[in-house]
């Protein structure tokens, strides 16, 4: 049994597999499949200052090796999360990451204040949601706006702060550097790639929001490339995600430069995927006489 534990920004994870925000709710449903302590952590459904109902349906479309979604940050609001979900989550024996999203910088700051008073383990600042009209990705697509919001939220956030990056940018490495320079403790990447699917008979987009975020195996090579580029540009740890489906994908993402991993879309076809991936990674380490999973991080040998 190799050592699967990892550290991200001073927080210890029993293994590098974290459930990705938006695919796992606040964990209750998947706790009916397996104990959540088998996961390294949970990144909670994105929460906003006030309750949001999200977008009208349809909110999802299947695409080759992936899905498009536009849920639109449906959530009960930060106060309800702290009151109704966090106490239960903290009893599950896994790292709890609160994913926060806002319409304004001020909203992010107020949520960071509120969550700093709780026993949330980390905060993941979502400046990359492509499916909401205001806020979301608009904060994450230029170095100036990323620097501005990271600096502002950093001043209110007394927990390790993870900045979740959008892939819908021209130069993700410089955006990552902007977040690092303003005090981000870690980065998580990639959020979904904006996409679209049209019903050729009705000529309507399948998703009511017209566009949605592409995730799943289809985006995996893009995610690996971006994690690799960013890992070469920053010193802070990266939580890698984007289409990880098998344990081989997990190894690949670690080699590209990730310290921990988030698992999302694959849950929809296989709810046990994080457990299987964790077991596969452990087997790979044992078979290759690697003592600790941390030895894989950034160990790609580029040409």
Partner 1 sequence: MKYDVRQLGLISNEEIAAGIFDMKLAYGENKIPVVCGQFAHVYVPGKSLRRPISVCDARNGVLRLVYQVKGEGTRIMSQMKPGASVDVLAPLGNGFRIQSGRRYALIGGGIGVPPMLYTAAKCEDPLVITGFRDASLVILQDDFRRAGAEPLLCTDNGSVGKKGFVTGLLREKMEQVDEICACGPLPMLRAIAELCKEFGKPCQVSLEERMACGVGACLVCAVRVQKNGEELMQHVCKNGPVFNAEEVVWNG
User: Exactly one of 217, 222, 233, 290 binds partner 1 (CB under 8 A); which one?
Assistant: 217
Question: What is the C-alpha separation between 113 and 275, in angstroms, rounded?
Answer: 34
Question: What is the C-alpha separation between 168 and 107, in angstroms, rounded?
Answer: 23
**81 touches partner 1 by CB under 8 A:** no
DSSP three-state, residue 233: coil
**93 touches partner 1 by CB under 8 A:** no
Residue 22 or 298 having the CB closest to partner 1? 22
**77 touches partner 1 by CB under 8 A:** no
- Tell the smallest beta-carbon distance from residue 153 to partner 1 (Å): 25
Instruction: Tell me the window of 88-96, 114-122, 225-233, 268-276 that interacts with partner 1 (CB under 8 A).
Output: 268-276
- Tell the smallest beta-carbon distance from residue 52 to partner 1 (Å): 9
Residue 168 contacts residue 193 (beta carbons within 8 Å): yes
What 8-state DSSP symbol labels residue 15? S
Catalytic residue among 44, 129, 143, 157: 129
**288 touches partner 1 by CB under 8 A:** no
96 contact partners, CB below 8 Å, separation of at least 6: 41, 42, 44, 86, 89, 90, 119, 120, 121, 122
Instruction: Tell me the window of 68-76, 78-86, 130-138, 141-149 that interacts with partner 1 (CB under 8 A).
Output: 68-76
Question: What is the C-alpha separation between 68 and 131, in angstroms, rounded?
Answer: 10
**156 touches partner 1 by CB under 8 A:** no
Nearest to 31 by CA among 21, 46, 19: 19
Number of residues counted as binding partner 1 (CB under 8 A): 37
What 8-state DSSP symbol labels residue 295? G
User: Exactly one of 14, 148, 268, 279 binds partner 1 (CB under 8 A); which one?
Assistant: 268
Residue 23 or 259 having the CB closest to partner 1? 23
**159 touches partner 1 by CB under 8 A:** no
Question: What is the C-alpha separation between 243 and 124, in angstroms, rounded?
Answer: 19
**65 touches partner 1 by CB under 8 A:** yes
Instruction: Tell me the window of 50-58, 129-137, 167-175, 229-237 that interacts with partner 1 (CB under 8 A).
Output: 50-58
Is 129 marked active-site?
A: yes
β-strands 66-69, 60-63 pairing = antiparallel
DSSP 106-164: HHHHHHHHHHHTTT-SEEEEE---TTSSSSGGGGSSSHHHHHHHHHHHHTT--S-EEEE
- Tell the smallest beta-carbon distance from residue 220 to partner 1 (Å): 12
Where along the sequence are the contacts to partner 1 (CB under 8 A)? Answer: 22-25, 29-30, 32-34, 45, 53-63, 65-67, 69, 71, 74, 206, 216-217, 265, 267-272
Enzyme catalytic residues: 129
């Amino acid at each position: 049994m190799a050592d699967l534990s990892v550290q991200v920004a001073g927080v210890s994870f029993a293994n590098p597999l974290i459930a990705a925000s938006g695919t796992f709710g606040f964990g209750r449903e998947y706790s009916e499949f397996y104990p959540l302590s088998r996961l390294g952590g949970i990144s909670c459904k994105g929460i906003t200052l006030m309750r949001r109902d999200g977008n009208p349906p349809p909110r999802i479309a299947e695409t080759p090796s992936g899905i498009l979604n536009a849920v639109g940050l449906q959530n009960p609001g930060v106060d309800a999360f702290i009151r109704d979900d966090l106490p239960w989550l903290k009893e599950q024996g896994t790292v709890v990451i609160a994913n926060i999203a806002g319409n304004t910088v001020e909203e992010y700051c107020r949520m960071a204040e509120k969550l700093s008073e709780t026993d949330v383990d980390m905060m993941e600042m979502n400046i990359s949601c492509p499916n909401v009209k205001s806020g979301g990705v608009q904060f994450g697509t230029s170095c100036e706006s990323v620097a501005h919001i990271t600096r502002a939220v950093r001043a209110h956030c007394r927990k390790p702060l993870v900045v979740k990056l959008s892939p819908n940018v021209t130069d993700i490495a410089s955006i990552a550097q902007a977040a690092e320079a303003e005090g981000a403790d870690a980065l998580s990447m990639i959020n979904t790639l904006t996409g679209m699917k049209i019903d050729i008979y009705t000529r309507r987009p399948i998703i009511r929001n017209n566009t949605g975020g592409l995730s799943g195996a289809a985006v995996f090579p893009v995610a690996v490339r971006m994690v690799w580029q960013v890992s070469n540009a920053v010193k802070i740890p990266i939580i890698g995600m984007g289409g990880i489906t098998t344990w081989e994908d997990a190894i690949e993402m670690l080699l590209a430069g990730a310290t921990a991993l988030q698992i999302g879309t694959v849950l929809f076809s296989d709810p046990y995927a994080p457990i299987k991936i964790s077991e596969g990674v452990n087997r790979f380490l044992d078979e290759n006489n690697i003592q600790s999973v941390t030895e894989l991080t950034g160990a790609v040998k580029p040409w």
